[in-house]
Structure 1
Amino acid sequence: MESQANEALLQEIAQRQHLIAELGQQTERERLMSAISLRISASLNLEEILNITVTEVRQFLNCDRVLVYQVEPKTEITTVVAESTQPSYTSLLDIKIATPLFGERLGEYSRGNIRVLNDIEQQKSATVINQFLQQVQVKASLTVPLLYGGKFWGLLAIHQCSGPRQWQKLEIDLLKQLATQLSIAIQQSELYQQVVELNTNLENQVKERTKELQQSLDYEAILKRISDDVRDSLDENHILQVAVWELAVALNVDGCDSALYNISEATATISYEYTTSLPTCQGKVIKMTDFQDGYNQLLQGQYFQFCQLVPGWKGKVAMLACPIFDDRGALGDLWLFKQRDKAFSDLEIRLLQQVANQCAIAMRQARLYQASQVQVQELEKLNNLKDDFLSTVSHELRTPLSNMKMAIQMLGISLNRSQELFAEIRKPPNEQNKVARYYQILQNECERELNLIDDLLDLQQMYAGIQPLLLTSINLQTWLSEIAEPFSQRLKNQQQQLTIEVAETVPNLIGDSASLERVFTELLDNACKYTPPGEKIVVKAVNCQEVMQISVLNFGVEIANSERQKVFERFYRIPNSDPWKRGGTGLGLALVKQILSRIGGTIVVAHSDHNQTCFMVEVPLTPVL
């Protein structure tokens, strides 16, 4: 009985010891799982996670080798990516295992099945994978697949190389749990790497886009600088020189040139070039037929680029050609050269096209300007010939007309002695005899021709600017009265009233008295000529800041809006507007406008009430020299 009791006690003690051992192992396993999980979760670096796992597992299970295989999905080539092994055994890290070795088991592993080998030598089937394991000193192995999201990633394997090993359920369960944790960690790490790679790609794209935007802004600045420079120039040579220099320096190319086309001769002459190392071609005349395909494209407004060997230089040269083209055709071209096989970028092509467009506009303007300058020179020549002709004719006509005037005066004196001509002239026109009427016609027409010649000469001198200005201080109240005095008898005969209105506060005017007297004498003469009997003529002076406004207003007559600008043209006379039939030269107002322009003044037909005409003169208080 006693022996049975002792045996039962010993069994109970053994069971308790076994239970305690199992509890210790379970506690250690949980500690290991917790430690490994904590260290894995603290890192997203896959290499670090795998190394932690194999090291901790080998130490905990006291095995000879722990490793992690990664299987490439496309090629199914398996690579040992992490390993912890005893120094006395062969390292398998980084070796690649061909498909046939694992191919026979990949299907099983992909379905989540594990492989337990307690003694490889006792295996009945001599599989290829078993042969491989024996070659690397493996006596027993435990292999668990690494799966996440239905994807087979690789394997976690334990090798016992010192001898066979009976793998315990606790060890198998531990490895399964570790494989699950490791699979999650691998998934997280790969997701993190994808995020990092995505962020890196995005950063690179942002940098590249920023670089492109900055380059685009730089090119816009270059284009603006070139456009401003060529737009301000009317020299075709300067336009091409600026474009070539700015493009070559800004784009850092090895060469740039510009050619002008002669369409009739089918040639292109290189006018300007910039080169750092390429052979010079400035001044070279190229026949378009020697490069027919290229020039056909350029003449149609199309650019092109190509690579070609250049004589005198080793290697190929990339070339970009763009026409200087507008709606009227091709004027020339721009070429870029660089010693590279790389093609020109879209930004470089667009910049060259825009510069070529600006050059086309500027060159067309320059040619129009040159053509207009030629026309201006021709017109100046014609104008000088006209002025010389008028001056010569006027002088040639004045001498005989002066003689005629003197002869008419002598004839009048002779007729007065014999027939009392002057008394006859003072009679009303319908009571005068024929001699008196014919004499008056002869005298008036002679005077009219002399006035015409005087006006022509004065106008010619005004245009030529040969009459000097003699500045004096003019009291307008006194001065205007003196100008009006010669018209008093004429005003009385025509039953017209003249009023001069000058305020006492109006200052003296500094100006050329003779020129201004000619102006207002002409305006008063016109006022008397076109004002009907019984109407008024008003001359009014007003100080308006830095100018003096002097208006001549006559009542009873109105100039139509359509005629107000024409009256200042030479030889223009308003039809059917002279009630006194006194006639005129048609040069008076043209001469007035030219005189005022010379002294810095202006004249306009101002807006006035119905049936009134107002000529407004403005002259500066301070003379313009």
Structure 2
Amino acid sequence: MSLSIAPSVDTQDSIGLMANILNAVAYPVYAKGRDHRWLFANTACCQLLDVSPEELRGCLDHDVLAVIDTELLRSQDDSFFSAGTIAEQPVTIRTRNGLRQFLGRRSLLQTNSGSILINTLQDVSELTQVRQVNYDLRQKLDERNSALDQLTEFEATLKRITDRVRDGLDEKQILQTAVQELTEALNVRGSNTSLYDLEQGTSTIYYEYTTLPSDRGRVSQMEAFPEVYHQLLEGQYFQFCSIAPNPVRGLVSMLACSIFDDRGVLGDLWLINDKEHGFSEYEIRLVQQVANQCAIAIRQARLYQESQTQVRELEQVNNLKDDFLSTVSHELRTPVTSMRVALQLLGVTLTQELGLEQDLTKPNAEQGRIARYYRILKEECEREISLINDLLDLQRLDVGNHELALQPIQLSEWLPALVSSFQERATSRQQKLDVTITEGLPVLRSDLSSLDRIWAELLNNACKYTPPGGEIALSVGQVTPNILKFDLVNTGVEIPQDKLPRIFDKFYRVPSSDPWKQGGTGLGLALVQKLVHHIDGVIKVTSGDDRTCFTIELPLSITPQG
């Protein structure tokens, strides 16, 4: 507020004039001289200060009890008397209702006796409260943003460490990664990790990452430190500061956390830092989460190692079995071949002396005893020779000693000739056998002996397991410019879905799939799969709707391996 009064007016007259004007003003207003004595206060100001105009007149700032921080008020007024201009300044007044904030707006009145300062007070308590609320809100918002930033950093750090820890299938790599990542992420002086031997009651430091002297390999007896290991064995964490200085490390602060899961305690993680450092909730949570991930990863690593050990043991057993079968097959081949020769000579002799060959042409029920015995011996001998040959072929395929003899094959000539050899057998079993070859197929360049063996085995099985009245259909077509597709379908028989994955296993025979009790070794399909792979093909089988289909895809040409 600004007043304009003639310079000739003296101070008392000025005060009189101000009283008439300022008492009508609603804002509190006071006037004081350069000596800081109060000269006047309007009615609103006296009510605010809870004093009368007479009590206030002639008082110095510090005599006005309602004014808080009179030195600040005096400094503000001095600055205004000197400079004549000053920004609005806050004034705190104690009232019956508590402290209130005012904003002082000053002006100068020149009189014959000197300058008079007039200060108009505007109540800004509510505005100050609003500003305080806004400030508090900003503080809380900043704190929340800081917490969110910390949480984001925590999640990112945990994810990075977790990914690295759980990528490992080796305990050494897992523990090394954990201590290195924690030390770098939390910027501590060092960290180490121990694994427990609960039977021996020991804790051994296996890995550490530190600038401090190494403790790696140190073994601690748990019973010697019950105050430490009692908590760790319970799956807890704790932090503490050493009381007595360590001869090497000095005074340090430490955080210990268990590595445990629902199956028990595996070990612990220790973090070491300067004595003044207290580990925060954020750091403790990070260490706990990393410890949990270490427990999961260690369990996985141990399961993996156990499974690898079992795989190696199974491979060794399988190799021993294959070696045994190979050895036995080689040892049996010579005597069985001798038996075949002896049977052939015996057949010639019996034919000359007893007419065996004519007797063998009769139906089985009408054959004489000698013919029946001879026929059984010959069939079983051939069966044993077939088994031995299959075993030897499988062994050669396993070790890669089965040579390829590539040659061009005209499918329209080769396949019908192969199928025709099974026509008589199919007809005798009241089965229908058809072959369909797409016209214009290119020449196939492959190993003819392998193909003959594959289709002979598959067609033999189809004839064996297709019931009377069933159909067997072999078809071949071109699915891509470089791939031929063969389908062999026989009706009247299904392979259970849960048995399909095993039908190519050695010696496996589907239960109840041979109602006619025709027998078999369980090696035929295993050999077929090996031969198909040997000529770069793919074989699969589907079964359902009272039919079974074997599908083989072969390349038109095989590139010999160098």
Measured against the shorter chain, the TM-score band is: 0.7 to 0.9
**Normalised TM-score (structure 1):** 0.71
Q: Distance in 1 between matches of 2:289 and 2:75?
A: 66
Aligned to 1:307: 241
Contact 1:255 1:338 in 2 (8 A): yes
Aligned to 1:123: none
- Bigger radius of gyration, 1 or 2? 1
Contact 2:66 2:94 in 1 (8 A): no
Q: 1:454 offset after TM fit, Å?
A: 1.1
Q: 1:215 offset after TM fit, Å?
A: 2.2
Match 2:355 to one of 413, 420, 443: 420
Matched, 1:338 2:273: yes
Give the AA of the match of 2:218: K
Q: 1:64 offset after TM fit, Å?
A: 7.3
Change (3 A) 1:472 1:26: farther
Aligned to 1:290: 224
Contact 1:240 1:272 in 2 (8 A): yes
Q: Distance in 2 between matches of 1:455 and 1:327?
A: 51
**Mapping of residues 161-200 of structure 1, within 5 Å:** 182=121, 185=122, 187-188=123-124, 190-200=125-135
Aligned to 2:189: 254
Aligned to 1:67: 61
Q: Distance in 2 between matches of 1:70 and 1:551?
A: 112
Identity of aligned residues (%): 46
Q: Distance in 2 between matches of 1:362 and 1:620?
A: 44
Contact 1:473 1:509 in 2 (8 A): yes
Match 1:606 to one of 531, 542, 549: 542
**Mapping of residues 52-451 of structure 1, within 5 Å:** 66-68=60-62, 81-83=72-74, 148=95, 150-151=97-98, 182=121, 185=122, 187-188=123-124, 190-276=125-211, 278-308=212-242, 309-312=244-247, 316-451=251-386
Matched, 1:584 2:496: no
Range with bigger deviation, 231-240 or 418-427: 418-427
Q: 1:234 offset after TM fit, Å?
A: 0.8
Contact 1:316 1:341 in 2 (8 A): no
Deviations 1:197-238 (A, max 9, x none): 544444344333333322222221111111111111111111
Contact 2:390 2:523 in 1 (8 A): yes
Q: Distance in 2 between matches of 1:254 and 1:563?
A: 60
Give the AA of the match of 2:261: D
**Mapping of residues 537-616 of structure 1, within 5 Å:** 537-545=472-480, 547-561=483-497, 564-574=500-510, 582-607=518-543, 609-610=545-546, 612-616=547-551
Change (3 A) 1:475 1:230: farther
Contact 1:70 1:81 in 2 (8 A): no
Q: Distance in 2 between matches of 1:416 and 1:497?
A: 35
Q: Distance in 2 between matches of 1:203 and 1:236?
A: 48
Q: 1:342 offset after TM fit, Å?
A: 4.0
Aligned to 1:6: none
Other structure's SS at 1:526 match: helix
Question: Unaligned 5+ residue runs, structure 2?
Answer: 1-9, 41-56, 79-91, 102-115
Deviations 1:246-289 (A, max 9, x none): 1111111112111111212211111222223x443222112212
Contact 1:260 1:271 in 2 (8 A): yes
Q: Distance in 2 between matches of 1:438 and 1:341?
A: 99
Other structure's SS at 2:225 match: helix
Aligned to 2:84: none
Q: 1:32 offset after TM fit, Å?
A: 7.0
Give the AA of the match of 1:484: V
Change (3 A) 1:25 1:192: same
Give the AA of the match of 2:392: L
Q: Distance in 2 between matches of 1:374 and 1:149?
A: 87
Q: Distance in 1 between matches of 2:500 and 2:148?
A: 59
Contact 2:66 2:95 in 1 (8 A): no
Q: 1:37 offset after TM fit, Å?
A: 6.2
Q: Distance in 1 between matches of 2:100 and 2:219?
A: 71
Q: 1:475 offset after TM fit, Å?
A: 3.3
Give the AA of the match of 1:312: P
Contact 2:193 2:267 in 1 (8 A): yes
Aligned to 1:98: none
Contact 2:497 2:543 in 1 (8 A): no
Change (3 A) 1:604 1:72: farther
Change (3 A) 1:441 1:314: closer
Q: 1:341 offset after TM fit, Å?
A: 2.9
Contact 1:243 1:359 in 2 (8 A): yes
Q: 1:358 offset after TM fit, Å?
A: 0.6
How many aligned residue pairs are there? 507
Q: Distance in 2 between matches of 1:350 and 1:21?
A: 74
Q: Distance in 2 between matches of 1:622 and 1:203?
A: 76
Give the AA of the match of 1:83: R
Give the AA of the match of 1:595: L
Q: Distance in 2 between matches of 1:70 and 1:327?
A: 73
Contact 2:257 2:291 in 1 (8 A): yes
Give the AA of the match of 2:281: D
Aligned to 2:51: none
Other structure's SS at 1:499 match: strand
Contact 1:498 1:537 in 2 (8 A): yes
Structure 1 or 2: larger helix share? 1
Q: 1:533 offset after TM fit, Å?
A: 4.8
Q: 1:411 offset after TM fit, Å?
A: 0.7
Contact 2:208 2:216 in 1 (8 A): yes
Q: 1:344 offset after TM fit, Å?
A: 1.0
**Normalised TM-score (structure 2):** 0.78
Change (3 A) 1:325 1:609: closer
Change (3 A) 1:55 1:448: farther
Change (3 A) 1:478 1:67: same
Deviations 1:73-97 (A, max 9, x none): 9xxx99655338999xxxxxxxxxx
Q: Distance in 2 between matches of 1:496 and 1:367?
A: 56
Other structure's SS at 1:83 match: helix
Q: Distance in 1 between matches of 2:64 and 2:15?
A: 30
Change (3 A) 1:383 1:248: same
Q: Distance in 2 between matches of 1:78 and 1:574?
A: 102
Aligned to 2:47: none
Contact 1:270 1:283 in 2 (8 A): yes
Q: Distance in 1 between matches of 2:418 and 2:261?
A: 62
Q: Distance in 1 between matches of 2:276 and 2:362?
A: 107
Contact 1:537 1:552 in 2 (8 A): yes
Q: 1:620 offset after TM fit, Å?
A: 4.6
Aligned to 1:455: 390
Contact 1:70 1:153 in 2 (8 A): no
Match 1:516 to one of 442, 451, 454: 451
